[in-house]
Structure 1
Amino acid sequence: MRPSYPKRLIEVDLPIKRISAHARREKSIRHGHISTLHIWWARRPLAACRAVICAALWPDPADPFCPEAFRASARELMGNWARDHLKLCAEESGPHFVAIQKDPNLLKDNTILRRAMFDFIADFANWDNSTGRAYLETSRALTQAAHEALGGEPRTRPLVVDPFAGGGSIPLEALRVGADAFASDLNPIPVLLNKVILEYIPKYGQRLADEVRKWGDWIKCEAEKELAEFYPKDADGATPIAYIWARTIQCEGPGCGAEVPLVRSFLLGKRDSGAIGLNLEISQKHKTVTYTLKKAEKPDSFEHGTLRRGSATCPICGFTVPGARVRRQAAEKKGGANTARLLAVYCNSPKGRFYREPNEHDAKAFAKSHDYVNEQKRQMLKDGTSTVPDEELPYLRSIFNIKLIGVDRWEQMFTSRQLASLLTLTKLVRGCYANIQSQDAEFATAVATTLALAVDRQADYSSSICTWVQSGEFIGHTFAQGQSLPIKWDFAEVVPFASGSGSWDGAIEWVSRVLDNITNSRLQPGTALRASATNQPYPDDSAQLVVTDPPYYDAVPYADLSDFFYVWLNRSIGSLHPTLFRDRTTQKEGEIVQLAERNPRYAFKTREYFERLMAEALRDCRRVAAPSGLLVIVFAHKETAAWETMIQALISSGWIAVASWPIDTEMGARLRARNSAALASSVHLVCRPRENPGGSVCIDTVGDWRDVLTELPKRIHEWMPRLADEGVVGADAIFACLGPALEIFSRYSRVEKASGETVTLKEYLEQVWAAVAKEALSLVFRGADASGFEEDARLTAMWLWTLRTGEGNGVAADDLEESQQGEDDDEAAERSRKAKVTGFSLEYDAARKIAQGLGAHLEDLASLVEIKGDTARLLSVAERTRALFGKEEAQAPSTARGRKQKQLKLGFESELQEAEEFGGWGQKGVPRVGDTVLDRVHQAMILFAAGRGEALRRFLVDEGVGRDERFWRLAQALSALYPSGTDERRWVEGVQARKKGLGL
C-alpha cells in the first residue's frame, strides 16, 4: 500500500529535451563555471543537477496528496513570475506563462500549475539564468514552501546529501535552489573543492575573490624575481611564452648512434597566412641534425616527423628503432624530460608573436634549474616531507602509460624548470597564509586553500605531457585526454609568468571568476566532510533528498589520478587541513572502483569488491533518507550487467524505482566514449524508500508474476513514445524505460510465480528488454505491424535504433581501442580517427537480449552478426556480399566502368576485380533473389553501389522484388536508422530514389 506522500515533480515528468539542450551548451561555457576551479573527472553539468534537484524537492501540485499550502504558494509564485518576470523567459517558455499572464485564474487548474513549474525549471536550467535574482528567489521560495508543507520545521531547510560529491555540482545546485547541502567523499581533493564551493565562498563572498586576486599578484611578483634566471628575456626584449621540446633516443642503426628527437610532426603552427615549422639540415659527417625554422603555404609541406606507431626513424641513416627499444631507452632516462632537445621557442613582442630557434642562453637558463631542484631535494618541510614530490607514481594498464617510459615518481612528470616554478609557487602560498593568519587564521586558510587550487591549475599546464596545439598555437594541459597520463614524446613547456596559455595570471583569473560567479548566487553555507559512502556521517531519516553520481566500475581511477594534484596540495596547504592530508598519497583502500585487472597491487579491487561496497553505500543512503524522501542515482553505463547489479543493490537496499530520465550530459566524440561503456545521456534513476505504514523498511511484500507481466507492456507503451517526443532514442531510451518498468517489480520485496518460485531480477529484465524491443519496433516502423518482417530485419532495425544515442551514430566496430602498452597515445588516437567504419557493435549481452526479445538467436544469424568475445557486431552491407550473391558471383558486380567505381570507396574494391575474373554480372544478369526482405534490400543496395542500373531495374521490376510493399517499408526504416555519412545510408537512399522512375 502506497504511503500518503505526494509525488514529487520528478516522479511525474521532466522537460528533458530543454534541460538537455542547456546541459550540452554548458560544455562550452567556461568563465565562472566550477569546472574551471580545479580539474575533477566525470563532473555533472550544473544545468542537469539544478533541474533534477528542483523537480525532486517540489511536490506535484496535481497529486491528490499534495498539501494545499504548497499549491497556494506555488500558484502565487508562478502567478507573480508570469506577471513580473515573463520577459526573462518568454523566448523559451512557450504559451504557458503567456496564457497565465493573460488569465491568472488558469493556475487554479493544478495540471496547468504543474506545467508552469516545469517551464520554470527548464528556464532555470539555462546557465544565463543561474545567478538571476528573480530565478533564485522564486526557486528558493518554492523549496521552502515545499519543505514546510511536507512537515519541515520553519526556518530550517530541506537537507540534500551527496555521498559521492566529486567536483561539487550536485551540492552547489542544492544550495542554489535553497536547500541545505551536505557533501562527502573519501578522496581529500573533492572534499577540499567542496569546502571552497560550499563553505568558503558563501561565507566570505567577494572579500575572498578580492584577496585571491591581491595575493595572486603578490605571488607572481615574488616568483618572477626568484625564477628570473630560469626564464630570461631575449636580448631584443622579446619574452618567451613557451619552449617546445622533444624527448630523444640514440639511433641503433649500424655505425650511426645519432641523437633522434621523438617528434610527431615538424609543423609548429597553422595560420591564415600559411604555416610554420622545422626544416632539417643533416650533417652525415658529424651525425647531427640542425632544425631551422621554415615558412610554407600549406601545413602538409612539413614532414610527418620521426615517430610512427611508436617507432622512431633516424633522419640521418633512415634506420627505424622499434617501439619497444624506444620505450626502453626512454625508461633508462626516467622519461627523458630533462634530457629532451629544445626544438623551438615561442615568443611575444610588441610586434606580435613569433617562433625562434634555440640558443646558448636557453640551454644555460635550463641547466641552472637542475642545480636549484637538487638543492631543494635536500630540504624538508616541517613534517619531514620532501619539498620535491618524490611519491611513487603507480602503473595502471592503458591509463598511466607514462609509467612505461620509466616515470615512476611524480617528480619525473616534470622538467627541472617546471619543478622549480611549482616548488616556488607552493612555498609562496605558505607565505601568504603566514602573512594573513595574524589577522584572521580561518580566513587565511580560505585564501591559501583557494590559491593552492590555482597552483594545481598551473601544475596541469606544467608537466612534460603538455603538448603544443598546432592549430591554435597554445599549450594543451596534462589531462587534455581526460582521465589518463599518456606517453607524449614531444611536449611544450609554459613560461608561467608570460602572457600565453597556461600562465599564472590565467590560473588566478579562472579561479577568481568562479568565486565571482558563486558569490553572485548569494548562497547560504553548506558542509563538506571526508567520509566513506558506506558509512555516512548523517543521522537516520535526516535527508529529504539524496542525489549522487556514483563511480562506474573501472571508468575513472579517481584516487590514483588525483595524486597528481594531491602531492602539490600536501606541500602547499597540507598543514592547514591535517585530517585531509595525513598520508603521503590519497587513500586507496575503501575506494569504490574496480581496478584489479590494471595493477596487481589492486588485486582486491575486483568487480565483486566494487559491487559489494556499492550495495553497502546504497543501504546507507536508505538509512539516511527520510521516509518521504527520494534517492536520485545518476548512471551512465552501457553494460547491462552493470545495470542489473545497480538495480539489484537498490532493490535489496529497500528502494523502489519510480522513474528514470535521460539527460544529455556526455560528449559522444570524446575519446573515452568510443567503444567504451558510456551513454550519450546520463540516466537519472529516481527511487523511493519501500516502507511499511509505520515507516519501517518493508521487507516482506510479495507480488504476483502474472500481474507484473500484465502491467509491464502497458507501462512501456506509455513511456516509449513520450521519450521519443523528447528526442530520446536508442540505448538512452532503453535504459530510461528501466525506471517505470522497475517500479512495478521493485514495489515488492519479491515476486513469485504461481508455483511459488521466486522471480529473479535477471529474469524480469529479460521481459523488460522484450517489451522495449516490441515497442521500439512499432516506433521504427511508424506504427506498422513489424511482424511481417523476418527476424533478421527486426533485429537489424532494433540494433541500429539502439545505437542511436543522442546526436551520436553508434559505435564503429574499429573505433578507438585502448592504446597498446607503450604505444604513443597520439598515434593510437590518430589511427582511430582515420579508421573506416565497418559494422556496428554492441555489448554481446545487450545484443543477445535484443535478439531474444524479438524471438531471434544471434548464433543462428552468422551471415548478419559476428560475435567475438564480449562484443557482437552487425556486419556492414559490404561484408554480406558473398552471402547474398553466392560463391561464384560472390562479390559486388562490376561493369565496364568498374575502374571508375572505385572512387565510391565501397570497402570491397578488390572484390569488384575478383567478380570480373568470374565473369561478373552482365547488364542483363540478375542475382538470385534473397530469402528475406532484408536480404533483398541489401542486394538492391549493393547493385546500386556497384552502378548496376540495369541489373537493379530487372531485380526490382522483372523479378517483382519492388512490388512487395514490405521492401520499401523496410528501406524507408533503414534510411532513417543508418548513421548519416555511412555508405549504407547513401546506398539505401539511392535505391529509394529509383522507385518512382521504375514506375513502382
Structure 2
Amino acid sequence: MLALELNFEKPFIESQFPISKISKESYKERKAGAGQTLTGLGKWWGRKPLILVRSTLLGLLMPTSDDPINDRNIFLKILSMDEKGLLHRKNKSIPIKELYKYSSDNDKKKYFTKESKTEKTAFVKGLTKNEKDDLQIKIFKKISYDEKLKYCMRPEELTNLDEDTWKEINNHLKTDAKNYQELFQQLGEKKFGHTPKVGDCFCGGGSIPFEAARMGCDVYASDLNPVAGLLTWSSLNILSKSDKEIKELKKFQKEVFDEVEKQILDLGIETNELGYRAKYYLYCNETKCPECGAMVPLAPSFVVSEKQKTIGILKYNENLNNFDIEIKSNASKEEMNTAKTGTLNKGRLECPHCNMKTPIAVIRNDRVVNGKTDYGLRLWEKDEFIPRSDDVFQERLYCIGWMNDGNVIYYSPDENDLLREQKVIDLLKERFNEWQNLGYIPSMEIEEGYNTTQVIRERGWKYWHQLYNPRQLLVLGLFSEKILQNGGDKLISSILGFNRVADRMSKLAMWHKSRDESETTFSNQALNTLYVYAARSLASINSPWSINLFSNSFNSITQTELTNAKTIDYENDIWITDPPYADAINYHELTELFLSWDKKMLEKAFPSWYTDSKRALAVRGTGKTFNETMIDIYSNLAKNMPEDGMQVIMFTHQDVGVWAELAGILWLSGLHVVSAWNIATETESGGLKSGNYVKGTVILTLKKRKNNETVFEDEILDEVKKEVRKQIKSMKTVDDKDEPNFADPDYILAAYAASLKVLTAYENIEGIDLKYELTKEDKTDSPLQDIINKAIGIAYDCLIPVGFDKFRWKGLSNEEKFYIKGLESEINGANALSTYQELARGYGIKNYKDMLENTRANSARLKTASEYANKGLSTNLIFSNALLRKILLSIYKSKNEEDAKFGKSYLREEYGSEYWSKRNSIVEILDFICSFEHIDSMKHWEHDVEYAKYLRELIKEDSI
C-alpha cells in the first residue's frame, strides 16, 4: 500500500470538521458547571469550551491526505472521540435498568431476572464480574453518542491515549509522538519549522491560551482588561504548577482564611448567645408609603425557605407606624401561598397598611424633563456606606440563618443581633478612611455606562464600595489586609479567591429561596439592584475563597500582556480570537467592580500593569467606529503572522447584515476566509441538535489573501453559486451516515461561509465599494447582503428532504418547500420560532406566520391538515393554490367524512386530466406525511396521518 501524501498547506479544518461530536463534547463540558477547568479561577463571561479550542487547534495543524475518511478517523482518535477512545474514557457504569433496556431478547434471558414489567430488574445469580463488564461494553457500543457521553469523562480528563492508538496516529501523520504535547509540537515543526506559536489578543477568561499551552504550543496572550489578564496569567502560570506547588498554595489560602476567621470570632459579630454561628443574613429595603406614611419592607415575596417552609409574616406596629417581620418555620400551605405575595408587584409598592399602589419611579421622585428622565434619588457621598435617615430607601436586617448541629435554622433578629449589627457599623467607621487610603476597600467612583448607570439611578450609589453593606465591607477589608501582606504566586492566588468572594458578597447577590443559598453578583451579565439580598457569613465563603487548583503540568513558553490589540508587535503562526463582535456583554464596565477592589493588589502583583478598564479603548458595539477598530486590529494580526500563518475567528451571529459587515472587515484586513463551521456551544436543556440549535459558535478560518486580481460583481455571484454547491457536496460526501454531523443550519452556514470565501478572495470587486459599505448609515440596500442572501437561497435548493425526487422538489413553490422543511425540523424536535424565521428568510417568504398554528418562541409549529381545514383557500396567496395545500385539504376531507374516497375524489375533480401527471408528486408528499406515524414530536398529526395512509393507498392503486 502506497503511503499517503500529506498536504500541510490545506489543513484538516479547511476541508472538514466533525461538528456534531465536537458540539456534543462542548455541551458536556459546559454542563460540568463549576467543575470546568478554568471556571474555578474566577468570573468571566462567555469562556469557550476547552475541547472546542483543542479541536480547532488540531484542525489547523493536522494536514489532509488523499483519504478524507481516514483523516477524519485519525482526527477523532486524537481527540478520543472514536469508539475506542470513548471506551477508554468510560468511567461510570451503565445502570442495570438501561442495560436491560438495550439488551437483545437473548441477553435479557442470559443476564437478567425479570418476569413482568413491574418486577425490579436484577442480574441472574452467579454472574461473574467479567461477564458483567462484557455486558457493559456490549451495551456501551450499542447506544448513541449522546448516551455514551453520560458515562464518560471529558477528553481533557484523559491522561493519555494508549500505545496502539498512538501507533495508528503516528503512522498516518508520519510523526513520533507519545503524548499530546509531542504531537502538536511535531505537527507545528512540519508545518512552520518550529513549535507552533499561538496568539490570542482577546484572551478574556483564558480558554484559548491555556488549551494551546497545555497542548504544547508556545503562547502569546493579551487583553485590554486587567481582570482578563489576571485570569489568563493564572491559567498559564498557576495551573501549570506541580502538585507539590499547588498543595503549598492551598495551604497558604487556608492560613489566610483561618487568620480572618480568628479575627471575626474574637470580634463576636457572627456568633449569638447560644453559641450558634451565622450562615446567612437576609436584608430588605424599606421605604415610606406616600399615602399613609408607614415604613414598608420591600420584597416581591416573603418566602425565606421553600424546603423548611419558612416565611416572613408582616405585622403592623401601630406605635412606630412600621412593620415587624415575624419569621415562622413549618408554615401551612395557605401561609406559604400568602407569603409568595410580597409588597412589590410589577414595579409598584403595594402598601399592606393602606392598600395603596404606588410606582417605585414615583417613590424615587423620577421626573420626565424635556423628554428625558431625571432620576430623583440623592447620590451618596464617597465616605458613606449606609443610607442617611432621610433617604428614600433604607436597609433592614430581617432574618438570620443560624447553624446548629449541621442544620440551618431561621430566626428574626433579636435585640442582641441588632446590637451586633451596630457593632459592625462602628468597627467599619473606625477603619473606613484608613482602609480606603490603603486600598483595602474601594474608593473608586462608578463611571456611568450602559450597565453601571443602573445602580446610580436605582439606588443613588456613586462609589463601588456602596454595592456592599457594612458587614460585607468589614469581612472583605480584613481579607484584603491579610492578602496585601504577601507577594508572588501567593498574592495572585489570593486575588483570585478574593474576587470569587467579592462576587458572592455584595448587595446584588440574590437569595435563592428554593435552594437556601445566595447567588453571585453576576448571576447574569448585568448589575441588577435588589430589594432583598443575602450577605454571607465567613462560614459560607470558605468554599469560594478556597479555589479549586489542579495541576495541568506543562512547560510551554507563555507571555501575557495588557495591551491594545491594534498595537501588538508579536508574531504568531496562528491567531485564534473570540472578539466582542456586536457583543451584549460590557466587559469593561462589569469588571470595574473587581478592579475597584483589586487595584492595590494588582499593582503589587504586576507592577508593569495598569489597573483600570481602559473604557475608551474597549472594542464594543457595531457601526462605523467599531468596524474601523476591527479593521485596524485584524490588519495588525495579519501583519503579525507569516505568509503561511492562519487565523480563526470565533463568531456567534446568524444575521445576514452582520455577516456582510464581517466580510468587509476581513476583506479590508487583507484576510481570506477558507472555511466556517458551526459548533453548538450554547445548547438548550433539551439536548444537542434539538430546539434552536443554530445558537452556536462559528469557527471561521482565515489565511492571508494572496490574490491581487479584480473581479466583477456578476462574476462573484457565479463563483458564489459554484462554491455553495461545492461546499455542500463536500460536506455530504464526508458525513457519517450512521451519526450525521450536519443538519440544515450547518448547510446554510456553509452558504454564508462560501460567500465570504469568494468575497474575501479578491483584491477588488468592481462595482462594490467595501469601505463605503462599512461606513454608510443605511445598510438596507447592501450588495454584500444581496450576494449572501442569494447564496442562502442556493443552499436551500440543495437541501432536498429524504424521499423526494430532485426534479419534483425543484418544481415545488418556495412556500411548499418552506412548509415541508418546517415539518422536517419539527420531526427533529426544532420548535423555536427562529427556525421558521430562518427558513422563511432562506426561501424569501414574508407571510409565513399564516402557516403557523403556534408562534410562541420555543413551541412554534405549523398547522396540521385538520387545523388548516378549509381556511384561506379563497386568497391569492401562492400557498393557497399550491398542490401541497390541496393535498392537506384532501386529508382533512378524508378525515372529516371518515372515508379517504372523499379526499381522492376532491383531488381528481380539482386537477381534472392533470391529476395523472401530478399523481407521483401527490404520493411522494403523502409518503412524507405518513412518515410522522411513530414520531413522538409529531403526535398532533396522529389522526391526519391515519387518513393520509388510506388516501395514499387509494391514489397509488387508482387507475383510469
Instruction: Bin the TM-score by the shorter chain.
Output: 0.7 to 0.9
Which residue among 358, 361, 382 is the counterpart of 1:321?
Answer: 358
Name the CA distance, whole Å, in 2 between partners of 1:37 and 1:207: 19
Aligned match of 1:682: 697
Name the CA distance, whole Å, in 1 between partners of 2:649 and 2:757: 15
Aligned match of 1:52: 56
Shift, 1:950, TM fit: 5.1
Aligned match of 1:810: 832
Shift in CA distance, 736/862, structure 1 to aligned 2, threshold 3 Å: closer
- Check if 1:394 corresponds to 2:347: no
Which residue among 173, 178, 186 is the counterpart of 1:145?
Answer: 186
Which residue among 515, 518, 522 is the counterpart of 1:475?
Answer: 518
Check the 8 A contact 1:266/1:277 in 2, yes or no: yes
- Check if 1:7 corresponds to 2:10: yes
Shift in CA distance, 332/743, structure 1 to aligned 2, threshold 3 Å: closer
Check the 8 A contact 1:50/1:174 in 2, yes or no: yes
Mapping for residues 6-25 of structure 1, pairs under 5 Å: 6-25=9-28
Aligned match of 1:112: none
My pick for the range that moved more, 948-957 or 783-792, is 948-957
Which residue among 862, 865, 871 is the counterpart of 1:885?
Answer: 871
What TM-score do the two structures reach when normalised by structure 1?
0.72
- Check if 1:713 corresponds to 2:725: yes
- Check if 1:307 corresponds to 2:344: yes
Q: For 1:447, what is the secondary structure of its paired residue?
A: helix
Name the CA distance, whole Å, in 2 between partners of 1:937 and 1:851: 21
- Check if 1:353 corresponds to 2:357: no
Check the 8 A contact 1:388/1:423 in 2, yes or no: no
Name the CA distance, whole Å, in 2 between partners of 1:348 and 1:655: 61
Name the CA distance, whole Å, in 2 between partners of 1:83 and 1:709: 37
Which residue among 173, 176, 181 is the counterpart of 2:219?
Answer: 181
- Check if 1:765 corresponds to 2:806: no
Deviations 1:720-776 (A, max 9, x none): 68679645435454224433454344333345699xxx9954343233111112123
- Check if 1:295 corresponds to 2:340: no
Aligned match of 1:436: none
Check the 8 A contact 2:192/2:573 in 1, yes or no: no
Aligned match of 1:739: 753
- Aligned-pair identity (%): 21
Name the CA distance, whole Å, in 2 between partners of 1:80 and 1:932: 50
- Check if 1:995 corresponds to 2:951: no
Check the 8 A contact 2:646/2:701 in 1, yes or no: yes
Which residue among 479, 484, 491 is the counterpart of 1:448?
Answer: 491
Check the 8 A contact 1:54/1:177 in 2, yes or no: no
Name the CA distance, whole Å, in 1 between partners of 2:83 and 2:682: 36
Check the 8 A contact 1:139/1:177 in 2, yes or no: yes
Check the 8 A contact 2:681/2:697 in 1, yes or no: yes
Q: For 2:309, what is the secondary structure of its paired residue?
A: strand
- Which amino acid is the alignment partner of residue 795 of structure 2? V
Check the 8 A contact 1:311/1:322 in 2, yes or no: yes
Shift, 1:459, TM fit: 0.6
Shift in CA distance, 399/391, structure 1 to aligned 2, threshold 3 Å: closer
Aligned match of 1:404: 458
Shift in CA distance, 507/398, structure 1 to aligned 2, threshold 3 Å: closer
Check the 8 A contact 1:245/1:343 in 2, yes or no: yes
Check the 8 A contact 2:852/2:861 in 1, yes or no: yes
Name the CA distance, whole Å, in 2 between partners of 1:473 and 1:370: 26
Check the 8 A contact 1:430/1:573 in 2, yes or no: no
Aligned match of 1:42: 46
Q: For 1:378, what is the secondary structure of its paired residue?
A: helix
Which residue among 618, 643, 665 is the counterpart of 1:591?
Answer: 618
Check the 8 A contact 1:562/1:586 in 2, yes or no: yes
Which residue among 772, 789, 792 is the counterpart of 2:815?
Answer: 792
Check the 8 A contact 1:23/1:48 in 2, yes or no: yes
Shift in CA distance, 633/259, structure 1 to aligned 2, threshold 3 Å: same
- Which amino acid is the alignment partner of residue 22 of structure 2? I
Shift, 1:181, TM fit: 0.8
Name the CA distance, whole Å, in 1 between partners of 2:433 and 2:891: 73
Mapping for residues 945-956 of structure 1, pairs under 5 Å: 956=903
Mapping for residues 653-664 of structure 1, pairs under 5 Å: 653-664=669-680
Shift, 1:405, TM fit: 3.3
Aligned match of 1:484: 526
Aligned match of 2:638: 622
- Check if 1:234 corresponds to 2:272: yes
- Long gaps (5+) in structure 1: 93-118, 434-443, 595-605, 692-697, 813-839, 891-928
- Check if 1:699 corresponds to 2:708: yes
Name the CA distance, whole Å, in 1 between partners of 2:398 and 2:262: 27
Name the CA distance, whole Å, in 2 between partners of 1:613 and 1:572: 31
Deviations 1:625-675 (A, max 9, x none): 2222211111111222112211222233222222222222114479xxxx9
Shift in CA distance, 416/149, structure 1 to aligned 2, threshold 3 Å: same
Check the 8 A contact 1:213/1:508 in 2, yes or no: no
Name the CA distance, whole Å, in 2 between partners of 1:669 and 1:576: 41
Shift, 1:171, TM fit: 0.7
Q: For 2:564, what is the secondary structure of its paired residue?
A: coil
Shift in CA distance, 316/396, structure 1 to aligned 2, threshold 3 Å: same
Name the CA distance, whole Å, in 2 between partners of 1:79 and 1:638: 28
Name the CA distance, whole Å, in 2 between partners of 1:955 and 1:333: 76
Aligned match of 1:88: 88
Name the CA distance, whole Å, in 1 between partners of 2:825 and 2:905: 36
Which residue among 629, 643, 650 is the counterpart of 2:659?
Answer: 643
Which residue among 265, 281, 288 is the counterpart of 2:315?
Answer: 281
Check the 8 A contact 2:667/2:759 in 1, yes or no: no
In angstroms, what is the RMSD of aligned CA positions?
A: 4.7
Deviations 1:588-631 (A, max 9, x none): 1221101xxxxxxxxxxx52111111122111121122222211
Name the CA distance, whole Å, in 2 between partners of 1:428 and 1:314: 46
Aligned match of 1:851: 843
Name the CA distance, whole Å, in 2 between partners of 1:787 and 1:315: 67
Aligned match of 1:931: 881
- Check if 1:611 corresponds to 2:627: yes
Deviations 1:59-84 (A, max 9, x none): 224489x9xxxx9xx99x98999999
Q: For 1:627, what is the secondary structure of its paired residue?
A: coil
My pick for the range that moved more, 390-399 or 641-650, is 390-399
Deviations 1:407-436 (A, max 9, x none): 3321221112111111221111101x1xxx
Deviations 1:353-410 (A, max 9, x none): 222222122222222333333344422667x868433321424169946743323321
Aligned positions, number = 816
Q: For 1:543, what is the secondary structure of its paired residue?
A: coil
Check the 8 A contact 1:376/1:387 in 2, yes or no: no
Aligned match of 2:577: 548
What TM-score do the two structures reach when normalised by structure 2?
0.74
My pick for the range that moved more, 319-328 or 418-427, is 319-328
Name the CA distance, whole Å, in 2 between partners of 1:607 and 1:642: 10
Aligned match of 1:528: 560
Q: For 1:231, what is the secondary structure of its paired residue?
A: coil
Shift, 1:246, TM fit: 1.6
Name the CA distance, whole Å, in 1 between partners of 2:602 and 2:766: 58
Check the 8 A contact 1:544/1:630 in 2, yes or no: yes
- Check if 1:652 corresponds to 2:684: no
Name the CA distance, whole Å, in 2 between partners of 1:544 and 1:462: 43
- Long gaps (5+) in structure 2: 1-5, 93-147, 167-176, 367-374, 388-393, 774-781, 955-960
Shift in CA distance, 238/642, structure 1 to aligned 2, threshold 3 Å: same
Deviations 1:915-953 (A, max 9, x none): xxxxxxxxxxxxxx9533565677799999xxx955998
Q: For 2:235, what is the secondary structure of its paired residue?
A: helix
Name the CA distance, whole Å, in 2 between partners of 1:802 and 1:553: 28
- Which amino acid is the alignment partner of residue 442 of structure 2? V
Name the CA distance, whole Å, in 2 between partners of 1:332 and 1:976: 63
